[in-house]
Amino acid sequence: MALALVMLGCGRNNSSNSGPSMGAVYAGRVVLNDVAPIVRDSSSWWEGPPTFNVRPLNSSTRLDEDRFGVTVRFSHVGSRESLEVEYEVWVSTSIATSFMSAYQNSLGSSLTGPKAGDQSLYYNRNIGAGAAPYLNASYVRVGQTVISIIWSHVDAVASTSTVGKLAVKAASRLKDAVNGKVHPSPIPTQDPLLLPPEGPDLTLLGKTVLPIEVVPQLLVYPAPEEMVTFFKQGGVNDFVFGDYAVDVDTHMEINTAGFKFSSPNGAKDWIDAVYGSSSNLLSGVYLNYEQDTGQYVAAFGSGNKGVLMVCKSSALGEQASRSCEGPLLRMVKAWGQVLGG
């Protein structure tokens, strides 16, 4: 509530189109190589699915002063430990500074930690629930961008100096990108069929190429290492990721994954192996609302091309709404026809 009050007080007169671009912020994000030196059991940490938080996603509730955001995630296989780094770009430095003040007013005095960016705040929290209840929270301002770093642990928080290493790295990488020292890498040339065809149901928020380890995280799959092994045995090491807003309900987000198998029948082999005994499989297409994860999942393919679509709420812990159903059904049909050629 405190943050909302701050923003209402700022008003719209501060609006500006200046500041970093989405490409620059994504290029300046922290990556797995930055995370590995500071976490325990680093070989078991994987990159997770990003969110490109741009309009029209959450357009009905988005503050006018919010230009865009990017969230990158990392997770520990075998536990609920996770690390989430969110970059929120506001229309002005003064508004970003107001948010830092609001965090401090809400959470109290910052712990002593390394200086990062233009401002930095450090907090330890125990939420008292869940499998990883201990949280390190750090907030770093770089110009008009506020970086939120939330690191969950099973048994205890990390030291502030350890969290500070990541905060300093996040700030320095973003500064380098904004100042033109780091440039966005072009997406490797990929088969255009690995992204859904353009249409009236979805709006593209962002796209990239990700390691195959992200796929079981999209599905909240109970045996992630086994799924990754299956894909790699089929010649799949990475995939084309698409992040979309559902146009009829922009509170809903669809993630797509398009991948190529080495076998000409790889898509069928994958569907048969993962979904072949399911009652929700019809004509080689799996489409279901999954109660345990609270999201809709579609899986289909043709030849060596496989496709996953996951429709979920953009809010953590909230179930997907039925507004996912129509767009998914229509897109499965349209994309499937294109894949089938």
Q: What is the C-alpha separation between 331 and 162, in angstroms, rounded? A: 45
Q: Cβ(231)–Cβ(277) under 8 Å?
A: no
pTM score: 0.92
In tens digits, the chain (341 residues) has pLDDT values of 334 333 333 334 344 457 899 999 999 999 999 999 999 999 999 999 999 999 999 999 999 999 999 999 999 999 999 999 999 999 999 999 999 999 999 999 999 999 999 999 999 999 988 899 999 999 999 999 999 999 999 999 999 999 999 999 999 999 999 998 877 777 766 788 999 999 999 999 999 999 999 999 999 999 999 999 999 999 999 999 999 999 999 999 999 999 999 999 999 999 999 998 888 888 899 999 999 999 999 999 999 999 999 999 999 889 999 999 999 999 999 999 999 86
Q: What is the C-alpha separation between 155 and 160, in angstroms, rounded? A: 16
H or E element that contains 177? helix 160-178
Could you tell me the domains of the chain?
Answer: 2-178 (3.40.1000.70), 192-340 (3.40.1000)
User: Which residues pair with residue 125 across a beta bridge?
Assistant: 135
DSSP single-letter state for residue 24: H
